[in-house]
Amino acid sequence: MRISRHVVVALLLVAPVARAQQPDSAARSRARADSIAKAVRDSIALMKELGAAVAADTTTRPSVPVGPQGGPTNPRLLPDFSAVGDLVGDLSPKGTTQADKTRFGVREVELAVQAVVDPYFRGDVFLGISDLESISIEQAFLTTTSLPNELELKIGRFLMPFGKQNTTHRHDLHTIEYPWVIQKLLSDDGLKGTGLWGSRVFSPFGFYQELQLTAIDRISPPAEDLTTAEAVNKSLGGLGFSARLRNYVDLSEAANVELSFSALTGKRERALNGSYIALVDDGSRSGPTALEVNATLARQSTFGADLTYRWRPLQQGLYQSFILQGEVMRQVNERNPSLPALTCPDATIPCVLPSLAAPARDYNGAYVFARLQTGQRQFVGARYDYVQNPENDGRTLTAGSVYLEWFPSEFSKLNFAYEGMKNSGANLLNRLLVQATFSLGPHKPHPF
């Protein structure tokens, strides 16, 4: 329709001009000039009408986003799918030190599904698959994208913002395992929480700061062999709460430093020496019921500070960089937790409450880590660990380790490690580990 109208306009403009070029008398020339002027006026009027018609057609027809091939972009709203394989070999001379007792194994395969849900939320789901845990939900959360005042809110399950390395998935660490202070005071594979996460970035002092607050269901996974008279989250005071304040300062164009402070508190199960009968009110119409319990609830609070120094020169940043990092933590446990009321099976025998299985005490731990880039894809690193091990009556665990890290590409990594670990009162344990990871799909690296 548009082509035919343009052709008509061209003919109206050309035809009078062609006739005007033929020789004739002066009268006919004047007549032709008048005809040409009229034709031009008519053509201009016609072009204005055509322009108005085209504009009206464009505004009334809905626009469809097109891709490179001329079709609509992502018409089925497919999210990004990716997978990460984490393979570990243990060549320690005195036998494997892995939890599944394998020399070579697939420690975990992580499946990620990520997409923008709507103009208000983004969704991220990370599933972990391993021989020990089968399929587990590593993370699954919604993140807001349009809250006012630079606020961000996460809803779901996430790696807890406590300390520096706990927010990084294990396969993305520059070491093969988390530092021992994280493994012993938080969790072997990173502490996770299910609940709400709120954060905001601000800069009142001329450098960037970020405040991260969380409220989660509980601070530790439920213990299968421990039974308490009431659930950890029965009251709001039993929930887990954490706070972290990050401070980021540029020292120069090539160097920056990050200093953070963290706190975490909540209730968890504490084992008793034996069991007793407790009166439990579960909200049923029949009233309180008797339940045999072997644990009680006690508050546990952990405090930490972490410091990270990064250096990467602008001109040689592709081949040179350096990271120095350290964290210190202190875990405080409630000394005398209260025990619920109990009932005696036999009124003639005095009821005696059992004591805690182990005396309550506090635990400290720290690590220092350094990583130097020696080539475009080669890195060397070293770490020193110290922690009072809660699993060994607070005896000291120390370890020193060195790492050789090589990235064939941004989608794969090889890591070789030696670690000398010593528990108080035990001999030195030598560990030789190798790790290979690979990424399929648009998996984004986790922040370090």
Which one is predicted more confidently, 343 or 159? 159
> What pLDDT does 58 receive?
47
Of the listed ranges 5-14, 346-355, 383-392, the least confidently predicted one is: 5-14
Over residues 371-403, the pLDDT tens digits come to: 999 999 999 999 999 999 998 888 999 999 999
Over residues 256-300, the pLDDT tens digits come to: 999 999 999 999 998 888 777 776 666 665 666 777 888 888 999
Over residues 161-211, the pLDDT tens digits come to: 999 999 999 999 999 999 999 999 999 989 999 999 999 999 888 889 999
- CATH class, 81-440 region: mainly beta
> What pLDDT does 223 receive?
81
Average pLDDT over residues 124-135: 90
Instruction: Say whether pLDDT at 56 is over 70.
Output: no
| Burial class of residue 414 (count of CB atoms within 10 Å of its CB; 0-12, 13-18, 19+) | middle
Which one is predicted more confidently, 187 or 71? 187
Neighbouring C-beta atoms of residue 129, cutoff 10 Å: 16
Structure tokens at 224: 């299968």
> What pLDDT does 99 receive?
87
pTM (2 decimals)? 0.78
- Where are the chain's structural domains? 2-58, 81-440
What is the average pLDDT value for the chain, to the nearest integer? 83
Return the CA Rg of the chain: 35
Over residues 83-103, the pLDDT tens digits come to: 999 999 999 999 999 988 999
